[in-house]
Amino acid sequence: MISQTAEYALRAVVWLASRPDEAFTAQALAVHIHVPAGYLAKVMNALVRARLLVSQRGRNGGFRLRDEASGISVLDIVDAVDPIRRIQSCPLGLTTHGLRLCSLHRRLDQAVAMVRKAFGGTTVGALLAESSSSPILCERRARRPARRAPARSTGR
Amino acid sequence: MISQTAEYALRAVVWLASRPDEAFTAQALAVHIHVPAGYLAKVMNALVRARLLVSQRGRNGGFRLRDEASGISVLDIVDAVDPIRRIQSCPLGLTTHGLRLCSLHRRLDQAVAMVRKAFGGTTVGALLAESSSSPILCERRARRPARRAPARSTGR
């Protein structure tokens, strides 16, 4: 129901939110969240442009969340990369319909509105809080100690 | 949120439901519902395979609904061509997760379930009934009298 791009973006942000003291390059992140690195790099740049992430250069550089996980909703992330758009007017551009939707598109729009509301009401912080009862993300276990993972910063 | 294929299938079925006494070839239908004819032919065949439509050969042949519009839901149509699938198990195939979803995929699955419920509860008959207050479908007005449209049957 959401695009592959949106799914990748969600995984990336949830992963970063779960490790707020670390920065990850797209390549390092790609391994953990099962996403092709080239594709992920584009997704990460879109998330930076949407001001959800910051990208830090340098030896311990990489991507981090810009703000607290509690301030980022699932909808923010989806909308940053592949928005689920409301149907505001006849999608076929029929001038006779103008801003009035037909029955079918009105119902489809209601479903879009419902999903946007659900996603807008779910923060990444809430997903983290749920993780005591289930894994927070479908992630691959690192094969080598996290301490040696590339682009991991030590301090901030 | 739904695919282009699903949108086309919905338009086709709603159109046919609104004209139960006529049969339409994919080519004739394509003009009315703004869909490329070649693409629509594949969609129509999928709807026949899903037993939502019947295809009649012959001079007055074409596609019709198999059953009453009140017995066909939006979900039936979407599922026939491009299903919105529940997330039943870890979509990354992680054996450690098995059938237990991570927080993120559990929330995504909840949204899918919500949409399936809404679509399952909306019949094509209900869309037709709403059309007194709005156009039933974003359709193109025929440029020539409907009587001369190709593959229109006269009786049944």
Q: Mark yes or no for CB contact A135/B11 under 8 Å.
A: no
CB A19 within 8 A of CB A62: no
Query: Do the chains contact at A2 and B108, CB–CB below 8 Å?
Result: yes
Give residue B58's pLDDT: 87
Q: Do A102 and B136 touch (CB under 8 A)?
A: yes
Task: Say whether the ipTM exceeds 0.85.
Answer: no
Q: Dump pLDDT digits (tens) for A36-86.
A: 999 999 999 999 999 999 999 988 899 999 999 999 999 999 999 999 999
Both tokens of A2, joined, read 């959401």
Q: Report d(CA B136, CA B144) in Å as an integer.
A: 21
* Low-confidence winner among A14-28, B27-41, B82-96 (lowest mean pLDDT): B82-96
**B4-83+123-148 sits in which CATH class?**
mainly alpha
Shortest distance between the Cα of A23 and any Cα of chain B, in A, equals: 21
- The 3-class secondary structure across chain A, one letter per residue, is CCCHHHHHHHHHHHHHHHCCCCCECHHHHHHHHCCCHHHHHHHHHHHHHCCCEEEECCCCCEEEECCCHHHCEHHHHHHHHCCCCCCCCCCCCCCCCCCCCCHHHHHHHHHHHHHHHHHHCCEHHHHHHHHHCCCCCCCCCCCCCHHHCCCCCCCC
DSSP state of B147: G
Cβ <8 Å between B102 and A134: yes
- State the smallest CA–CA distance between residue A130 and chain B in angstroms: 6
Q: What is the pLDDT of residues A107-117, one digit of tens each?
A: 999 999 999 99
Q: Quick: pLDDT tens for B22-70.
A: 999 999 999 988 899 999 999 999 999 999 999 999 888 999 999 999 9
Residue B19 burial (C-beta neighbours within 10 Å; 0-12, 13-18, 19+): middle
C-alpha A17/C-alpha A28 separation (Å) is 15
* Nearest-10 Cα torsion for B85, B86, B88, B89: 70
B141 neighbourhood in chain A, CB within 8 Å: 96
Q: Spell out the CATH class of A4-84+123-148.
A: mainly alpha
Nearest CB to A131: which of B74, B90, B103?
A: B103
From chain A, the residues in CB contact with B10 under 8 A are 104, 108
Whether the Cβ atoms of residue A24 and residue A152 lie closer than 8 Å to each other: yes
Question: In the predicted model, is pLDDT for residue A146 greater than 80?
Answer: no
Look at residue B101 in the predicted model and tell me its pLDDT.
79
